[in-house]
Structure 1
Amino acid sequence: MTTTFLYGAHIQANGIRQHYLRYGGKLGARAERDAIIIIPGITSPAITWGFVGERLGQYFDTYILDVRGRGLSSANAELDYSLETQATDVIEFAKALGLRNYAIVGHSMGGRIGIRAARTQATGLTSLVMIDPPVSGPGRRAYPSQLAWYVDSMRYAREGCSVEQMRTFCPSWSQEQLQLRAEWLHTCDERAVIESFNGFHSDDIHQDLPHIKIPSLLIVAGRGNVLMPQDIEEICSLMPQVKVAHVQNAGHMIPWDDESGFYAAFGDFLGTRF
């Protein structure tokens, strides 16, 4: 298959170095469609979403962002890793690249970042896709994953772990997926991950939802335990314009579990089926 990958690059935005991977470009029909910014989850550097970028790049000018503290973006002890700052990063990233119109496609933590960014009604942000976002927060049930799972796996990666060691954390993943995670997980800064995990329980994204006016899509893992039926009902009550799609055969890491089902869940929400 001909690759849609164009290049990886860095840009200065919101006061930090932001690294991204670009797929597709603006030639042909892509020039008439909104660009896409993919925001991965809590311990997913941009490169781990490359297979999704390859597919979306066939139809859209696609950017996969290394969230601060992950991959090749800035990471240090002085950085602010709050949800508010991460959301501003995305908005300033789009401005720095000169994106006139763009959609945010955020998975898990990336979905929460997208929600906070969309609340600002930023110029150029035309639509939002939330992929199985954690709905934990003040006074709500805890996020189902444990912090130790992230911290322990990152420690193994920093020391240099094998694919088999990584398999103990992600037993259902393919050999290729495990190899990529074992190679890149060490780039996730532990401070950033801990702050983001704690933010799952201290940040109230539900207060943001009524302020989101752009078209929105919620993609739910059919075999996941992050979003329960009552959570979906509440989200729909807070943002009546939201569409909901289920990927029945997938857990929380939806495109890893059912890639074709993941793409099908978008329907024509982004302007074309892919």
Structure 2
Amino acid sequence: MITLATSTFGIILCKGDILSKSVQGPSGKIFFKDEGNGNLPIVFVHSFAGNASHWEEAKNFLAQKRRVIRIELRGHGDSESPKDTDYRISSMAKDIAAVVDSLRLPKFVLVGHSMGGSVALQYAGENPDRVAGLVLVDTNGDPREVPETIRNQIKEALNSSAYRETVDGYWDQLLAHSFPKVKRRILEDLHKAPKEAVIRITSELLDYDPNPSLKRYMGPKLAIVISENEDKFSLHRLQGGFPFHLVREAGHWLYMDQPLEFNHTLETFLKKL
């Protein structure tokens, strides 16, 4: 049974011990889940077409002794889509700000996957004193290492009759090494993503330069990646590099494929803060 209650964060949907709250972000309501207790909160940011439920196993592990906050960025999960279709990385970083500011968190650890990693990095670069630690999970490196002509070809394909073929080919590549159960779940979420959001977010990621934020955020960092994301252009190789952990036998959603290894790696990082 679901009960309703009002709060300073809007509507709280209560089902068991799961709380879903919302705040007014710059482009509409931003929903998030806030569970567990601890002095240093862990804030999770999902990938493109993801939602708070993607972090369920990590939450179950951490919330036993830590406070866990799972944000749903604009146009994802229960959060409202931007009426102006603004999916810039810098704009989505303001969704994080809306939540952590409303909760009055002076300092917290930020964990972001893929697109959410870019958004988390952008926030950390703009607010380095608020972020006690930054964990980037299989996040893109510097896309400018891919020739501009190729990046433009991808954008053109997304805006053509080859849209579906282009999208399916890309996601098949990302999910090539995912476990069947994970692959089915992710594809179900991906197929729900609006075409315009897919085009705009993909185009944004193809041009996003992570280097300025990497320069500004000098705090503790860790990358958790799969084998395909371990080369000289990977994020953890930029700006002099920073520590990384390689998860084998996993796809892009590595924290779903190998939750025990991911949780152990994350907990080891957190204990050092």
The TM-score with structure 1 as length reference comes to 0.76
Tell me if 1:65 matches 2:71: yes
Cα deviation 1:1-60 (Å, max 9, x = unaligned): xx9953112111335200112221x2xxx2x3x111110101112223222222221232
1:205 aligned partner: 210
One of 201, 219, 223 as aligned partner of 1:214: 219
Question: Amino acid of the residue matched to residue 22 of structure 2?
Answer: H
1:261 aligned partner: 261
One of 15, 18, 24 as aligned partner of 2:30: 18
- Contact 1:18 1:74 (8 Å CA) reproduced: yes
Matches within 5 A, 1:35-46: 35-46=41-52
Cα deviation 1:191-226 (Å, max 9, x = unaligned): 22321111121111123211111111111113xx2x
Tell me the distance in 1 between the aligned counterparts of 2:252 and 2:178.
12
Tell me the distance in 2 between the aligned counterparts of 1:263 and 1:56.
8
Cα deviation 1:142-161 (Å, max 9, x = unaligned): 79x996478569xxxxxxxx
- Contact 1:72 1:187 (8 Å CA) reproduced: no
Q: For residues 81 and 53 of structure 1, do their structure 2 counterparts lie closer, same or farther at Cα, with a shift above 3 Å needed?
A: same
- Contact 2:24 2:30 (8 Å CA) reproduced: yes
1:100 aligned partner: 106
Q: For residues 208 and 180 of structure 1, do their structure 2 counterparts lie closer, same or farther at Cα, with a shift above 3 Å needed?
A: closer
1:195 aligned partner: 200
What percentage of aligned pairs have identical amino acids? 21
- Contact 1:5 1:54 (8 Å CA) reproduced: no
Question: Amino acid of the residue matched to residue 140 of structure 1?
Answer: V
Q: For residues 220 and 152 of structure 1, do their structure 2 counterparts lie closer, same or farther at Cα, with a shift above 3 Å needed?
A: closer
Tell me the distance in 1 between the aligned counterparts of 2:16 and 2:237.
35
Tell me the distance in 2 between the aligned counterparts of 1:99 and 1:66.
17
Deviation for aligned residue 1:244: 1.4
- Contact 2:44 2:68 (8 Å CA) reproduced: yes
Deviation for aligned residue 1:124: 2.5
Cα deviation 1:50-100 (Å, max 9, x = unaligned): 222222212321111111111110114424110010112212220012222
Question: Amino acid of the residue matched to residue 16 of structure 1?
Answer: G
2:143 aligned partner: 137
Tell me the distance in 2 between the aligned counterparts of 1:136 and 1:45.
25
1:157 aligned partner: none
Q: For residues 188 and 36 of structure 1, do their structure 2 counterparts lie closer, same or farther at Cα, with a shift above 3 Å needed?
A: farther
Question: Amino acid of the residue matched to residue 263 of structure 2?
Answer: Y
- Contact 1:45 1:185 (8 Å CA) reproduced: no
1:229 aligned partner: 231
Deviation for aligned residue 1:185: 4.7
Q: For residues 204 and 247 of structure 1, do their structure 2 counterparts lie closer, same or farther at Cα, with a shift above 3 Å needed?
A: same
Matches within 5 A, 1:125-164: 125-140=131-146, 148=164
Tell me the distance in 2 between the aligned counterparts of 1:172 and 1:180.
10
Tell me the distance in 2 between the aligned counterparts of 1:150 and 1:237.
28
Q: For residues 77 and 92 of structure 1, do their structure 2 counterparts lie closer, same or farther at Cα, with a shift above 3 Å needed?
A: closer
- Contact 1:250 1:258 (8 Å CA) reproduced: yes
- Contact 1:137 1:203 (8 Å CA) reproduced: yes
Which secondary structure state, in structure 2, belongs to the residue aligned with residue 264 of structure 1?
Answer: helix
2:239 aligned partner: 238
Which secondary structure state, in structure 2, belongs to the residue aligned with residue 210 of structure 1?
Answer: helix
Q: For residues 4 and 109 of structure 1, do their structure 2 counterparts lie closer, same or farther at Cα, with a shift above 3 Å needed?
A: farther
- Contact 1:210 1:239 (8 Å CA) reproduced: no
Tell me the distance in 2 between the aligned counterparts of 1:20 and 1:254.
22
Q: For residues 101 and 76 of structure 1, do their structure 2 counterparts lie closer, same or farther at Cα, with a shift above 3 Å needed?
A: closer
1:156 aligned partner: none
Q: For residues 71 and 255 of structure 1, do their structure 2 counterparts lie closer, same or farther at Cα, with a shift above 3 Å needed?
A: same
Tell me the distance in 1 between the aligned counterparts of 2:137 and 2:186.
21
Which secondary structure state, in structure 1, belongs to the residue aligned with residue 21 of structure 2?
Answer: strand
Q: For residues 203 and 60 of structure 1, do their structure 2 counterparts lie closer, same or farther at Cα, with a shift above 3 Å needed?
A: same
